[in-house]
Amino acid sequence: MSSSQKERIAYLEGAASNLKAQTVPLKFMVLSRDGGAIKARIKLLDLSGQEVAVIEKSWPGRELYIDMLLEPVRTLRQGQAADAWLAFPYRVFTDEVSAASGSLLFDAYDTGGFPGVLEGAPWSSGERKALAAAFADARRKAAAGLPAADASKGVFGSAAHEVSGISSFEVGIVYKLICRAKGGIEIAEDN
């Protein structure tokens, strides 16, 4: 392990304490479903709930997928269970648009190299540097058409989605995507 990797891990260890039990990095609303396409508005939020960016777009398909990248934060050696998970909004795709052809979200919340969705917490400069490095790493891979869910680092993706005939996002209803610090994401109506 290089010294820069050790430094990054050391800073990410501190990140766990800045994460609440659950965060809501994005909310979304399906605006319409016409002609086999889904139009949706997605609002990206920082840790304090402030709006970072708004994306409005249409994708062909019937089931909307909102993909998150979950990066483990460990205080123990690699291979141990993560203490917390950092959540980065990754991309949007559908049942007809493959993930590789989906719309990447990283650019929308890039605030000078730092992931805007993680603003709103008292990060130290070292922690900010480590988070920016993790963000840059994911962006670089995604931009090169490679999976950002890097197996060697225990990173994985989690795409919450509707399931035709079982569960669908209703037009005009605001949904929130909840990310648990202990792992796992959930979609619920934003009441």
Partner 1 sequence: MDDKFAALKGMLYGLADAATFLFTKPLGLSILVAVLLLGAGTRLWTVVSGRRLAAKAAGEEFGLGSAAGAALRELVSLGVRAGGVLPAIAGLAVALALLVGVADATRAVDDYVAGQKRIAELSATVRNLDRRYKAIDVSVEDVTDGRIKATLSFYDYRDPKSPAKTQGVDIAGKELFVDAIVCNFDFSEIASGKAVNLAIPYRVFSDEVSESQGIALGLFDDKGIPLMYSRSADELYGIGPEVYGARLAELMASMRTDEAARGAGIARSLYGDAVHREAKKGDSFSVWVEQTGGITIKDADSF
Q: Report the side by side order of strands in the sheet with 51-60.
A: 51-60, 37-45, 22-34, 174-180, 185-189
CB of 187 within 8 A of CB of 173? no
Nearer to partner 1 (CB atom), residue 174 or residue 187: 187
How far is the C-alpha of 10 from the C-alpha of 73, rounded, in Å? Answer: 10
Candidates 157, 171, 172, 173: give the one binding partner 1 (CB under 8 A): 157
CA dihedral sign of residues 108, 111, 113, 119 = negative
CB of 124 to partner 1, least distance (A): 27
Mask for 84-123, x = binds partner 1 (CB under 8 A): ---------xxxxxxxx-----------------------
Strand partners, 32: 39
Residue 80 interacts with partner 1 (CB under 8 A): yes or no: yes
Q: How far is the CB of 155 from partner 1 (least distance, A)?
A: 7
Residue 147 identity: P
Query: Minimum distance between the CB of residue 157 and partner 1, rounded to whole angstroms?
Result: 4
Q: Which is nearer to partner 1, 53 or 155 (CB)?
A: 155
CB 106 within 8 A of CB 135: yes
* Residues of this chain that bind partner 1 (CB under 8 A): 63, 65, 70, 79-81, 93-100, 146-147, 149-152, 154-163, 165-168, 178, 180, 182-189
